Every structure is written in C-alpha cells, then in structure tokens.
Amino acid sequence: MRYLHNLAVSHIATGAALLGTGGGGDPAINLLIARKAIETYGPVKLIDVNELPLDAWVLPVGGVGAPTVGAEKLLSWTEIDESFAVSNAALPGGAYATMPIEIGGGNALLPFVLAMRHGLPVVDADTLGRAFPEMQMSSLALDKVPMRAFSLADEKGNTCLIKASNPSWMEALARPVIDAMGGAATACAYACTGEEVRTSALHGTVSLSERIGRALMDRDVNRGDPLAALIAETAAHVLLGAKVVELETKTDGGFVRGGVTLAGLGADNGRRVEVAFQNEYLLATEGTSLLATTPDLICILDRDTAMPISTENLRYGARVTLIAIACHPKWRSAAGIRATGPRYFGFGFDYVPVEKLIGSTL
Amino acid sequence: MRYLHNLAVSHIATGAALLGTGGGGDPAINLLIARKAIETYGPVKLIDVNELPLDAWVLPVGGVGAPTVGAEKLLSWTEIDESFAVSNAALPGGAYATMPIEIGGGNALLPFVLAMRHGLPVVDADTLGRAFPEMQMSSLALDKVPMRAFSLADEKGNTCLIKASNPSWMEALARPVIDAMGGAATACAYACTGEEVRTSALHGTVSLSERIGRALMDRDVNRGDPLAALIAETAAHVLLGAKVVELETKTDGGFVRGGVTLAGLGADNGRRVEVAFQNEYLLATEGTSLLATTPDLICILDRDTAMPISTENLRYGARVTLIAIACHPKWRSAAGIRATGPRYFGFGFDYVPVEKLIGSTL
C-alpha cells in the first residue's frame, strides 16, 4: 500500500497515454480532474492485488465512447457518482475498492477520481494492460468472469444498468446507449472479487504506467533520451522514424475509425507505412508486409520528446516515431487472439508477435 | 374485484386491438400466451383502482418495439420474468399489482401473463387509453410522475434498467436498446403508487376493452351488427367505407412507419382518404382536409365483421371501414396535444377534436 500524490498521478497519466496506443481518451483532461480531486480529498491509496480480501468486491471504472467526443464533452462528477451509485447498489455489501478497466489513456485516471470521491483504495491492476475499443475485450471476459453490475451514466443524470447474456451482447446493447448519451459516458463495470482480480486481472499495470511516465518525463531518469529510457522500461521495438503525410478520421457508431500514412525520414527515407485505427492503433503495414498488429501495442510518439500521440491528436506533417511493444501474454493465447487479433477487426492477417516480425517480410 | 376467465380475456384482446388503433402489437399471439397462463395458473384477479392501497407499488408492463417484429419474434417467459425481476428489485418492498402500460393491442394482455406468473392482481386501468408509439406518451408522464424502475428485457436473457433525467431521454436511451435486442422487447416501467394511479392513470380501460370486445364478438350483444354495437359502446364516428388501394410500410428505428390509401366504396364512391401511421394510425386526410388526427383514435375495421385491422395486417384490396373515436380528455389538454398531437409527429395540422371535424372541411 502506498499513497499517490500529484507527481505520481502525472507520471501515470503519461504512461497511460502510451499504453493507450492512441486510444483510451486524452489523459490531459482527466489529469486536471484527478489533480483537482487530490487537492480536494488528499492523496489516493494504491493497494497491491495481494492486499485485497478474496471476497471483497472490486468495482472497476472507465470512460467509454469515442475519444474525439470525450475530449469536448468533458467528464462530470455526475456521471462518475451516478454510475458508481447504480453499480454499487447492485453489489451485495458494496464495493471495497476500484481499479481501471483499462490502464490505457485517460481511463487510467478515472478510478483515482472515483476513489477519492467515495473513499476507496485503487488496486494496482487493470483488465487490459493497454486500451481496446470494445467492451468484451477484457482479461476478465477472457477468463469468463461474469460481467456484473455494468452501468453507464452521462452528465445529464441518465443511467443504464445492463445485464447481458454474454460479453458480445454487452457490447451490442451498451454501444447504442453510449451513442444516445452523446457519444461518451462513464462505465462502472466488470465488478469482480479479490480472488478474481488475483486470477484474471493484469497485475501491477498502474505502477508500470507510472514507471513509463517517469522514464518519459523525468530527466534524472532518462538523462535527455526519453526514447531510450522507454525502450529500457518496456522493451519497445522502434519500427520507423517518419512524418504524417495522410490522415483519414471518421467518428461514427461510438468509435473513431481511420488510418494514417507515415513517410520515413532520415535512415527510413523512402519507406511508407500505414497504421489503421479504431480508437486505438491496430495494425501497421508496409506495402504488403505486416510490421505489427493488435493485440501487441502500436504507439506513435513525438519524434523529439517521445511523448505518445493519440489518434485524435494526430496532425498532418507531425514528425513521429512508430514503435511496438509486446502485449501481455494473456492476449497471445488462442482465445486472446480470437478476441483482439487482427482478424477480429477485419484485417486479412494472422497474428504474429511483434518480435518475430522484426526483420521479416510476410 | 373479480376474476377473469378465458372468455373475458378473449373479449379484452379484441377490445384492446380496437383501442390499439392499428398498433400495440397483434393481440392474437399474446392471447394464446394468456390462455396458456390461465390454463396453468387459474383465472386472473382484476381489481378496481379504488381497491389499491395508496402507498402500494403498481408495476405496469408492456411490449415495446415494432409490432411487425413482435409478430415474428414471439414473447417469451424469460423476458417477462427478467424484466419483472429487475424492476421489482428497484421498488422498495416490491410490486403489489401490475397493470397495462397501454390498453391498446397485445400490450393489454401482458399484465395478465405477468400477474399469473407472479401472483399479482391486475388493476383496471392503463396509462394511455389507447396505443401510442413513444414511451413518454403516457398519462403518468403527462402528470410528471417520475419514470421509476424502467427495465427492458429480451428472450436472450439481456436486461437493461434505465433511469432517465426526463421522459424524452427515456425514449432516446431505450429505443436503440430495443433495436439492439432485436426490435422488440418487454418493458416493466412507470412504477407508480396507488395514489398516483388514482390521480394520473386512465381508469376502467380494461373493462372498457372487455365491453368493446363483447360488442364485436358476442351475437347476443350485437345482434349481427357489430359496427352498430361498437358505435353504441364508444360513440365512434364512421368516416369512410372503402378498400385499400395503396400501402407503404417500412420498419426502421424500432417503428413501423407508412401510409395507406383508401378508395371509397358504395355511398363513398369517388372519395380517396390517406391514413398515415407510426405503429399506430395517426392522421386521416382527404385531399387537403383533415378527417381525424391523433390523439383521437383512428381505427380501420374489416368491412364485414367490424374487427380491427392492425397496421401490420393491412393488405392491398382489403374492404374496410374507417372510424374515429374521441380520445380520453387528458390527451385533449394543451400538454396532451403537445405530447401526442399531429404537430408532434411532424404533420402540418393543428389538433381539432374529431366530433368538430365531422361535416367540416378545413
């Protein structure tokens, strides 16, 4: 157990933006909200997975919907409080702790805000280890933990408690509600016991995002080379140094979909790489060759600062570095690849781990 | 208090089909389900509004979605039981009785099925006095009774408990869920106290539908002239004897929308009347003249039997009688007309009571 203050939360925000692989919402806004909450309620208690009683309820929280909408339709206390109230009432005895549904992007910070408002600790774990665009893409769903106490709330006071017969039905029912709520909402969801967190959540990911953030932001740690510090922390593979030469983005059905074309710079001059996204960067290809694919993490970084750039912050002409990081082993299982691999998203490639793709042409 | 047996329920089904003004779902299927329930559980207890304790919860029930879908995607025990379970759990102490949300169409029979399965009485009242296509169109909403314990359930075991900041938000949030559930679902909704039922529900409408059904079906009552018996019971105005010469129907966004053109027969030879519908018949016009408009009840009857024909059972060439019946006075208030009048549905007419339109040309 330890307490997190302002600086730690800033590091988590940056690390989470990287693990968001372009999605999960811009952490900048939620960081402001988390700082305001720390100012009001004091520091946040972060507990280890092993500190959780086996029968205690953990109620994860996150924002859902299109990040482009979330960046303009700002998070409100109302939606956090109402979503918590509805889901918490559905848990016998109530929630003992909260945690991020996904560590990627602004969603990493929502549990801190909820924790401070409602006096709960945050568990150092999440259920994705990154960000993913659809709700059934969770390590809990992969292990068939039932989707309990799933609620959505918006800033207008509307709430919706959904029980679905399976995770794909949850996605099918919740997505149009999110759309009707204005394209973005807060979800308390995937309530699970301490025991289920131990067996099925991804452990230590809050601390991981803090270490990544520190590597990128703290000169004492990165000694002026944030990319090298990031590689040391995550074993990231650098795929390309480039600039953005084409960008196509469409917000519909609650998602930001599109693609970006990168033209190589310097040593990579003459190379041309396409990166496709649905909220998150999902697939990087060069001609007919696969460079990296979901569920491995594909990130686009600012070429100078190595700071991650989200899909909604991509701009024509930006100088960037394209990297990829091996995903959590859970996503590399047959079921994990079926749920989150390239074929699930409609791409005509089989999953190949990024470290096997380096230097190969398919 | 009285018990309703098979025959009474058959009469209610027919009367409800008439009050459904073309919508509310075909009662034939729900009648079979209600008969099966009577066979299994015995007769249904119907209680008068005045027999309700003032503080008892009444939990209305009804089917929602497109009737064309409901006719093929049959009602299941699962959706009735699950919707009741979810809404009932949201009511402190649970429900004392149920009643129809809308007396119009197959929805009149759902409370009987629920009542038998869960040992509740049915209140002789509803909240529309007819059928309407949207969920905020309820006498309870008109009187600003909060929309409590609103749940949707489908046959797959999916449920959704919605709290909306106002009735229009309820419609906006629930409609896409119904669509995702397959276009039709069961709703327990508008939970209200005995006191609210007394002040804001429409009383005696179950008995009214039974009397209408008896007038149409019982030769001892109608002496072979069901139309005359119907007029005697409801003060209906006969607008046209005709055949269906054009029919346009589209099922989308959870509704059946369209229009039917009627060409006059016999004494009405040469007349041509258009009836527009959105689940229910909403507007009857002849050239530029208004014949009748929502919220008054517009019904299309079989020319021989005077039995009501629903929008989804309209067929090219059918011989019909077009009638209109004055709606409940509550719908003729300024707020009632705003909520359910022709302008709400996008028609370029002001509401004029049907009895004032008879013989006039606008």
**Residue, of B251 and A323, whose pLDDT is higher:** A323
Q: Which of A148, A160, A178, A181 best probes binding to B when mutated, by most B CB atoms within 10 angstroms? A: A160
pLDDT at A360 (0 to 100): 55
Q: What is the DSSP letter of A327?
A: P
Instruction: Give a yes or no: residue A159 inside a domain.
Output: yes
Residue B212 domain-assigned?
no
pLDDT at A67: 65
A177 and chain B in contact, CB less than 8 A: yes
Cα-to-chain-centroid distance, residue A301: 16
Q: Show the low-confidence residues of chain B (pLDDT under 70).
A: 67-68, 70-71, 253-254, 359-362
Kind and range of the H or E run holding A65: strand A61-65
- Judge whether A219 lies within some domain: no
Mean pLDDT of A146-174: 93
- Please give the pLDDT value at position B253: 66
pLDDT digits (tens, 9 = 90+) for A112-126: 999 999 999 999 999
Give the model's pLDDT for residue B362: 44
CATH classification of the domain holding A140: 3.40.1610.10
Determine the pLDDT at residue B33: 87
Both B312 and B353 in one domain: the answer is yes
* Helices and strands in chain A: count of H runs, count of E runs: 13, 18
Instruction: For residue A204, give Cα distances in angstroms to A98, A343, A359, B198.
Output: 14, 29, 31, 58
- Residue A361: per-residue pLDDT: 47
Q: Which of B159, B170, B181 to mutate to test the interface with A (most CBs of A within 10 A)?
A: B159
Q: Do B167 and B254 belong to one domain?
A: no
The ipTM estimated for the assembled molecules is: 0.77
Select, from the ranges A132-136, A211-215, B68-72, the one with the highest average predicted confidence (pLDDT).
A211-215
Q: At what angle do helices B110-118 and B77-89 cross, to 10 degrees?
A: 70
Are B170 and B135 in contact, with CB atoms under 8 Å apart? yes
Closest Cα in chain A to B147? A158
Instruction: Identify the three-state secondary structure at position A62.
Output: strand
Does B292 lie in the same domain as B173?
no
Overall average pLDDT of the A16-24 stretch: 93
CA distances from A143 to A87, A91, A107, A140, A167 (A): 21, 20, 22, 5, 11
Smallest Cβ distance to B162: which of A160, A169, A179? A160
Q: What is the pLDDT of residue B111?
A: 95
Asked, for residue B76, whether it belongs to a domain, the answer is: yes
pLDDT tens track for A272-314: 999 999 989 999 999 999 999 999 999 999 999 999 999 888 9
Interface check B157 vs A, CB under 8 A? yes
Residue bearing tokens 């039709």: B184
Instruction: For residue A362, tell me if it sits in a domain.
Output: no
Parallel, antiparallel, or unpaired: how do β-strands B184-188 and B150-153 relate?
antiparallel
| In contact, B193 and B56? CB cutoff 8 Å | yes
The beta-carbon neighbor of A165 closest among B158, B162, B165 is: B158
Total number of domains in chain B:
2
- Note whether B106 and B33 are within 8 A (CB): no
Q: Do B245 and B96 lie in a common domain?
A: no
**End-to-end Cα spacing for chain B:** 47
Interatomic CA distance for residues A302 and A324, integer angstroms: 14
Let me know whether A242 and A187 are in one domain.
no
Residue B271: how many other CB atoms lie within 10 Å: 17
pLDDT in tens, B146-200: 989 999 999 999 999 999 998 889 989 999 999 999 988 999 999 999 999 999 9
Query: CB distance from A160 to chain B under 8 Å?
Result: yes
**Residue B176 and residue B79 share a domain:** yes
Same-domain pairing of A61 and A202: yes
% of chain A beyond a pLDDT of 90: 81
- Same-domain check for residues B34 and B155: yes
CB count in 10 Å sphere of residue B92: 5
Of A158, A169, A176, the CB nearest to B165: A158
The per-type count for chain B, helices as H runs and strands as E runs, is: 13, 18
CB of A107 closer than 8 Å to CB of A16: yes
Domain final residue pick, B177, B206, B235: B206
Residue B216 belongs to a domain: no
Is the pLDDT score of A266 beyond 50? yes
Q: Of A206, A238, A257, which residue constitutes the final position of a domain? A: A206
Residues A107 and A229 in one domain: no
Residues A43 and A192 both lie in one domain = yes
pLDDT of residue B5: 93
Domain-terminating residue out of A155, A176, A206: A206
Residue A43 lies in a domain: yes
The verdict on B244 and B347 lying in the same domain is: yes
What residue in B sits closest to A176 (Cα-Cα)?
B176
Contact A173 B180 (CB under 8 A): yes
Predicted confidence at residue B361, as pLDDT, reads: 47
Question: Are the Cβ atoms of A160 and B161 closer than 8 angstroms?
Answer: yes
**Amino acid A55: pLDDT:** 97
Asked if B198 and B233 sit in the same domain, the reply is: no
**Do residues B163 and B151 touch, judged by C-beta distance below 8 A?**
no
Structural domain containing residue B181: 2-206
Please calculate the CA angle B98-B102-B105 and round it to the nearest 5 degrees.
Answer: 115
Six token digits for residue B291: 């014949």
Identify the CATH number of the domain in which residue A346 sits: 2.40.390.10
CB contacts < 8 Å between A and B, how many? 60
Interchain proximity B162–A158, CB inside 8 Å: yes
Q: Is residue A217 one of the residues assigned to a domain?
A: no
